[in-house]
Structure 1
C-alpha cells in the first residue's frame, strides 16, 4: 500500500486538506473575533458619547451625570456593562449601578478629545473591552469618561461562531476530498490505460502498446515499445538459430539412417538397433525444436481460425493412412466456430493429437470444440487403452516416449503442450472410459 501512487496522493491530499482547514479555521476565528470586537467598540463609543453628553460640572464645581444611559444593563449590578466618569481635578468618581462599589482602573491620561480603546480589569478581575475619552470644557475643567463591556460576551459570540463554523468546514473537507478523488482518478487514468495495454501485450492480444498517453506518460510507453521491439528481434534471432540448428541436424540424421540400413544389410542388426535408437532420440528432439520454432515470436491473440475446417483437413490426411482407414472420425464443431489461435498452430496441435489417437484407438476418434466463460475448449477423444494416471505428467516431458511401437505419443503431446503454453492456455488429460481424452483450453481475447 505504501508504494501505491494513489495511496500517496490520497495521503498528501488528506494532510493538505487538514492543514489548510486548520489554518482557515484559526484565521476565520481570529477575523470573526476582530470583527466582533470592532462592533463592540462601535457600540461602546455610542454609549460613551451619550455618557459624555450627560456629564456636567455643577455650579459648585462637582461632577455629575444628569441622566443614565438608555441601556438597562448599566443599571443591573455586575451585568458586564459598566461606565465611569472621573473628575481629573478632584479624582472624584461617578459610576454606573452595574459597578456596584467597584472601580475601573483607568489608564494613563490621554490627550483631550482622544478616543482610546483599552483592555481593563472589571469588578471581578475579568477582562473587559473599554473605550476612554478625556474631555476639557471651556472653563478648563476636565473629566475622563469610560464605558466597558465584559470580554466574555465577545468570547461567547466567537464560541457560537466556531460551533457553526466546524460543520461547515467538515462539509468543505468532504467536498475537497471529492474534488481530490476526481482529480486523482482523472490524473491516474492514463496510467490505468497503460496498465491495460501492458496486460494486453502480456496476454498476447497485442504486439505493442497502442495507447494515447499524455506527454508525461508517453515517453514511458515509447520506451516499453522499444523494449518490446528489441525482445521480438531477439526472439526471432533465437528461433532462427534453433531452426537452422534443427535443419542442420536433419541431413546428418538422414546419412545416419542410410548407414543403419547398410549395417542391417551386412548383418550388424544389434549395432544397427542401438544406433537407430540413439538416432530416434535425436530425431525427436529435432522435430520438437522445429515445431517450437514455427511459433512466431510474440504470438498475437488476434489470430483466429475455423476449427471445423482445420480439423477436417487433419482428418482427411490421417484417413489416408493404413490405420486411419480402419477407424471412424467425428468432428463435433459448428461450421463457424472460431478458435483464438493461428491456423498453422491449430493444425500442428490437432495433427499430433489425432495422429496419437489414431495409433491407439480401437474404433473411433472424436474432435470436439465448445466454449465456456472466457475460454475455447478443444478435445480429442479416442477409445484406446489410454495413459495411466501416474504417467500423464511424464508424457509431457521432453524426450519421454511411452509406446514401444515405433511411434512417439509423448513427443506429440509435448509439442502440443509447448504450443498451448505459448497461447496462454492449458492442457489436461483424463480417462474417457475407455480411451483418453486430451482437452485444450485457450483463453478468449477481446
Structure 2
C-alpha cells in the first residue's frame, strides 16, 4: 500500500501533464467558487424584481379600487384581487395617511402586526424586506399616491408578501445551481484533460523519437514538431551529430595510435631477437623482451579502456544469447582439451543494456577466466529487474579466497601463475562497468569455484 502511494506521489510530482492538470483543476474550482456568489446574487436580484412587479401590480389594484370622499378614504367591500379578502392569505394590503396613521387594511392582514412607518416624502415607491417581530419576514412595497380619480389625496399604499413564499424557489434554485455547477466542473475538467492530452501529443512523438535514437533505430530527430520544440530538437540533433563525429574521430585516432605503435614494437622485438643470438646479451635481451611485452599489454589495455565507453545519448541493447554463443564457440576451440560445459540460466530473448563491443570485451574476459580455471563446468546467468541488470559467470574451479578478492580487481594483479598474462582482464571489466555505472563483485559460486557477478 505504501509503495503504491509512493509511486502515485512520484508520478504526480514528476509528470508535467499531471502538474498542469492539477493546476488547471485548482483554477477551475476557484473559478466555480467565484462564479457561485455572482450567480446567486443575480438570481436574488431577478427574484426581488419579480416580487416587486407583483406587489406593484397588487398595489395598483388597491389604487384602482380606492375612493375619496371629502378627503377621506373609502374602499369597496369586495376588492378586485380576491386574495386581499381571504383571511390567512399570503397577500396583505395596508393604506396609511400622510401622518403615517393606518386607515385601512385588508381582511387577509387581520391578526398580523407589522411595525412599519411609511415616509410620505415624495420618494415615489420602494421595496423593503422587514421583520414582523415574530421571526417572519415580508417583502414590502410602498407607493405614494397624490391623486385618486382626479381628486387630491395623500396616502401610502403598502402591499406585503411573505418572504417564505420565495424561499422554496430560492432553495430549489440553489440545489439546481450546485448540481449544474458540479456537472459543469466535471465537464470542464474532462475538456481540460482532453486538451492537455492532445497538446502533449507532440511531446509523446518527441519521446518516441528519442526512444528510437536510444535504441539505435534512428540517427536524428525529425523536424515534425511544434515550433516551440524545434529549438530543443535542433540542439539535440547537433549534440547527436557532435557525439557521433567525436566518437568516429576517437576511433580513428585509436586505430592510428595502435598502428603507429605496433610497428616500433615489432622492430624492437626483432632487434631483441638478433641481440639474443649472442650469449653474452641474453640477460639484457630477456629484460628488453619483458618490457616490450609489458608495453604491448599496457597499450592494449589503454586502447580497450578508451574505446569501450558508454555513449551519451544512444542506449544500446544486445541479445545476450548471440554474444555468449560467439564467445563460447571461440573459447571451445582454445580450450578444446578441457571439454567445458556452459550452462545458460537466462531468458533466450534477454537483452543487456550495453554496446555490443563493450559486452563482448566484458563477458569475454570473465568467460576466459572461467574456462581457464574451471574443471569442466561454467554457468552464465542473467536477469532484468526494476533495480537493473544482473549478470553472473560461475565456474567449478578452485575459487578465490576472501582475502584475495579485492586484490584481483586491481590492474596487474594475478593469482594464477601457471598461465601467461598480465592480469588486466578484470581491470578492463571493472573500467567498462564504471563507464556504465555498474559494479563487479567476486563471490563463491554454487558450482564450488568463483562467481563474478555484474550489476548494472
TM-score w.r.t. structure 1 length?
0.74
Which residue of structure 2 aligns with residue 183 of structure 1?
A: 195
> Structure 1 CA distance, aligned partners of 2:356 and 2:14?
44
> Unaligned 5+ residue runs, structure 1?
319-323
Which residue of structure 1 aligns with residue 5 of structure 2?
A: none
Are residues 240 and 90 of structure 1, via their aligned partners in 2, closer, same or farther at CA, if it must alter by over 3 Å?
closer
Aligned pair 1:436/2:447, yes or no?
Answer: no
Aligned pair 1:284/2:297, yes or no?
Answer: yes
**Equivalent residue of 2:331, what SS?**
helix
Q: CA RMSD in A?
A: 4.6
Check whether the contact 1:379–1:440 (CA below 8 A) recurs between aligned residues. Answer: yes
Structure 2 matches for 1:393-404, cutoff 5 A?
Answer: 393-404=406-417
Check whether the contact 1:120–1:129 (CA below 8 A) recurs between aligned residues. Answer: yes
**Equivalent residue of 1:109, what SS?**
coil
**Equivalent residue of 1:326, what SS?**
coil
Aligned pair 1:257/2:273, yes or no?
Answer: no
Are residues 385 and 309 of structure 1, via their aligned partners in 2, closer, same or farther at CA, if it must alter by over 3 Å?
closer
Which residue of structure 2 aligns with residue 310 of structure 1?
A: 326
Check whether the contact 1:307–1:339 (CA below 8 A) recurs between aligned residues. Answer: no
**Equivalent of 2:160 in 135, 144, 149:** 149
Aligned pair 1:84/2:100, yes or no?
Answer: no
Q: Residue 314 of structure 1: CA displacement?
A: 0.5
Which residue of structure 2 aligns with residue 21 of structure 1?
A: 32
**Equivalent residue of 2:67, what SS?**
strand
> Unaligned 5+ residue runs, structure 2?
1-11
**Equivalent of 1:66 in 72, 76, 98:** 76
Aligned pair 1:414/2:427, yes or no?
Answer: yes
**Equivalent residue of 2:257, what SS?**
helix
Which residue of structure 1 aligns with residue 401 of structure 2?
A: 388
> Structure 2 CA distance, aligned partners of 1:233 and 1:107?
97
Which residue of structure 2 aligns with residue 247 of structure 1?
A: 259
Q: Residue 246 of structure 1: CA displacement?
A: 3.3
Q: Residue 158 of structure 1: CA displacement?
A: 4.0
**Equivalent of 1:301 in 316, 335, 342:** 316
> Structure 2 CA distance, aligned partners of 1:151 and 1:277?
116
Q: Residue 30 of structure 1: CA displacement?
A: 1.6
Check whether the contact 1:204–1:301 (CA below 8 A) recurs between aligned residues. Answer: yes
Which residue of structure 1 aligns with residue 341 of structure 2?
A: 330
Which residue of structure 2 aligns with residue 321 of structure 1?
A: none
Q: Residue 91 of structure 1: CA displacement?
A: 8.0
> Structure 2 CA distance, aligned partners of 1:257 and 1:73?
134
Q: Residue 194 of structure 1: CA displacement?
A: 3.9
**Equivalent residue of 1:410, what SS?**
coil
